[in-house]
A and B are shown apart, each in its own frame.
Chain A
Amino acid sequence: MAATVIWGSVIFATLIIAIFLLLIARRMLGERRITRESKAMLSATKDLLLRIQNLQPSAPHGQNRKAARMHAVLNLARLLRGSERVKLMELADEDGLFDSALRDLTSYKPRQRAQAVELLDQFESQKCVTALRTVMANDPVYELRLAAAFTLARFGRLPSPRETIAQMSLLTNENSRIHLALFRALAPLYPAQLRALLRDPAYHIIKASIVDALGWSDDFTCLPEIEHASSDVDPEVRCAALRAAGQLGQPEAGSWIIAMLADPNVNVRIQAIRCASRLSLSQAQAQIEALSNDPSAWVRCRADEALFALQPVKLRARI
Chain B
Amino acid sequence: MTISESFLSITASIVLSLFWVCFVIVLLRNAVSVLQLGLAFWSFVTRAKPSSSNLFLWQRYADLSLPVSVIAPAFNEELSISQSVRALLALEYPQHEVIVVNDGSKDRTLQKLIDEYGLMPIKREQLAVLQQTKILGTYASPRYPNLLVVDKENGRKADAANAGIGFARMPLVCVIDADSIIERDGLMRAAEPFMADDGELIAVGGAIRIANGCEVVRGTLTKIGIPKSLIPRFQVVEYLRAFLIARVANAELDMLMLISGAFGLFRRSVVVEVGGYRHDTVGEDLELVVRMHRHMREQGRKYRMAFVPEVVCWTEAPATLQGMRNQRARWQQGALETLQRHKVMIGNPKYGRIGLIAMPQLVIEDVLGPPSELIGYLLLPIAWSLGLLSPQLALAFLCVTILFGTAISIATIALEELQLRRTPSAHDLVRIGVAAVLENFGYRQANLVFRLVGIKRYLKGETAWSAVPRLGFSAK
Task: Determine whether the beta carbon of B142 is less than 8 Å from that of A316.
Answer: yes
Q: Mark B406-434, 1 if CB is under 8 A from A, else 0.
A: 11101101100110000001100110010
Task: Determine whether the beta carbon of B403 is less than 8 Å from that of A9.
Answer: yes
Task: Determine whether the beta carbon of B395 is less than 8 Å from that of A176.
Answer: no
Task: Determine whether the beta carbon of B404 is less than 8 Å from that of A24.
Answer: no
Q: Is B58 an interface residue (CB 8 A)?
A: yes
Q: How far is the CA of A9 from the CA of B66 in the complex (A)?
A: 47
Interface hub of B120, B127, B414 (most chain A Cβ within 10 A): B414
With A13-B406, A301-B125 already in contact, the answer to whether A118 and B195 are too (CB < 8 A) is no
Task: Determine whether the beta carbon of B196 is less than 8 Å from that of A16.
Answer: no
Task: Determine whether the beta carbon of B197 is less than 8 Å from that of A153.
Answer: no
Q: Is A80 an interface residue (CB 8 A)?
A: no
Which residues of the partner chain A approach B65 to less than 8 Å between Cβ atoms? 177
Task: Determine whether the beta carbon of B53 is less than 8 Å from that of A153.
Answer: yes
- Rounded to whole Å, the gap between the CB of A180 and the closest CB of chain B is 6
Q: Is A12 an interface residue (CB 8 A)?
A: yes
Which residues of the partner chain B approach A197 to less than 8 Å between Cβ atoms? none
Q: Is B378 an interface residue (CB 8 A)?
A: no
Which residues of the partner chain A approach B197 to less than 8 Å between Cβ atoms? 176-177
How many residues of B are counted as interface, with CB atoms below 8 angstroms from the partner's CB atoms?
57
Which residues of the partner chain B approach A110 to less than 8 Å between Cβ atoms? 46
Q: How large is the interface on A (under 10, 10 to 19, 20 to 34, 35 or more residues)?
A: 35 or more
B residues 21-47 in Cβ contact with A at 8 Å:
27, 34, 45-46
Give the secondary structure class of B's interface.
helix
From B52, B64, B395, B429, give the contact of A24 (CB < 8 A). Answer: B429
Q: Which of A143-151, A199-207, A230-238 contacts B (4 or more CB under 8 A)?
A: A143-151
Task: Determine whether the beta carbon of B48 is less than 8 Å from that of A150.
Answer: no
Task: Determine whether the beta carbon of B120 is less than 8 Å from that of A27.
Answer: no
Task: Determine whether the beta carbon of B51 is less than 8 Å from that of A23.
Answer: no
Which residues of the partner chain B approach A319 to less than 8 Å between Cβ atoms? 122-124, 140
Q: Is A318 an interface residue (CB 8 A)?
A: yes
Q: Is B115 an interface residue (CB 8 A)?
A: no
With A2-B392, A177-B65, A308-B145 already in contact, the answer to whether A13 and B426 are too (CB < 8 A) is no
Task: Determine whether the beta carbon of A6 is less than 8 Å from that of B410.
Answer: no
Which residues of the partner chain B approach A13 to less than 8 Å between Cβ atoms? 403-404, 406-407, 410
Task: Determine whether the beta carbon of B404 is less than 8 Å from that of A9.
Answer: yes
- Rounded to whole Å, the gap between the CB of B308 and the closest CB of chain A is 16
Task: Determine whether the beta carbon of B49 is less than 8 Å from that of A118.
Answer: yes
Which residues of the partner chain B approach A10 to less than 8 Å between Cβ atoms? 399, 403
Interface hub of B65, B120, B196 (most chain A Cβ within 10 A): B196
Task: Determine whether the beta carbon of A151 is less than 8 Å from that of B429.
Answer: no
Task: Determine whether the beta carbon of A301 is less than 8 Å from that of B127.
Answer: yes
Interface hub of B56, B63, B127, B392 (most chain A Cβ within 10 A): B63
Q: Is A20 an interface residue (CB 8 A)?
A: yes
Which residues of the partner chain A approach B3 to less than 8 Å between Cβ atoms? none
| Smallest CB gap from A147: residue in B | B51
Q: How far is the CA of A308 from the CA of B124 in the complex (A)?
A: 13
Task: Determine whether the beta carbon of B429 is less than 8 Å from that of A23.
Answer: yes
Task: Determine whether the beta carbon of B142 is less than 8 Å from that of A312.
Answer: yes
- Rounded to whole Å, the gap between the CB of B285 and the closest CB of chain A is 27
Q: Is B400 an interface residue (CB 8 A)?
A: yes
Q: Mark A275-319, 1 if CB is under 8 A from B, else 0.
A: 000000000000000000000011011000100100010001111
Task: Determine whether the beta carbon of B396 is less than 8 Å from that of A5.
Answer: yes
Q: Is A154 an interface residue (CB 8 A)?
A: yes
Which residues of the partner chain B approach A23 to less than 8 Å between Cβ atoms? 414, 417-418, 429
Q: Is A103 an interface residue (CB 8 A)?
A: no
From B64, B411, B417, give the contact of A27 (CB < 8 A). Answer: B417
- Rounded to whole Å, the gap between the CB of B48 and the closest CB of chain A is 5
- Rounded to whole Å, the gap between the CB of B290 and the closest CB of chain A is 28
Which residues of the partner chain B approach A31 to less than 8 Å between Cβ atoms? 425-426
Which residues of the partner chain A approach B27 to less than 8 Å between Cβ atoms? 5
From B52, B127, B140, B407, give the contact of A297 (CB < 8 A). Answer: B127
| Smallest CB gap from A247: residue in B | B63
Q: How far is the CA of A318 from the CA of B120 in the complex (A)?
A: 11
Q: How far is the CA of A305 from the CA of B148 in the complex (A)?
A: 13
With A2-B390, A150-B51, A154-B53 already in contact, the answer to whether A24 and B433 are too (CB < 8 A) is yes
- Rounded to whole Å, the gap between the CB of A273 and the closest CB of chain B is 13
- Rounded to whole Å, the gap between the CB of B55 and the closest CB of chain A is 9
- Excluding A3-B392, A13-B406, A143-B48, 10 further A-B contacts by CB distance (< 8 Å) are A16-B407, A23-B429, A147-B48, A150-B57, A177-B65, A177-B195, A180-B64, A184-B60, A298-B127, A317-B122
Interface CB pairs A-B, < 8 A, 17: A5-B400, A23-B414, A24-B426, A24-B433, A27-B429, A28-B426, A118-B49, A118-B51, A121-B51, A121-B53, A150-B51, A150-B54, A153-B53, A174-B198, A176-B195, A180-B64, A312-B142
A residues with CB within 8 A of B: 1-3, 5-6, 9-10, 12-13, 16-17, 19-20, 23-24, 27-28, 31, 110-111, 114, 117-118, 121, 143-144, 147, 150-151, 153-154, 174, 176-178, 180-182, 184-185, 216, 243, 297-298, 300-301, 305, 308, 312, 316-319
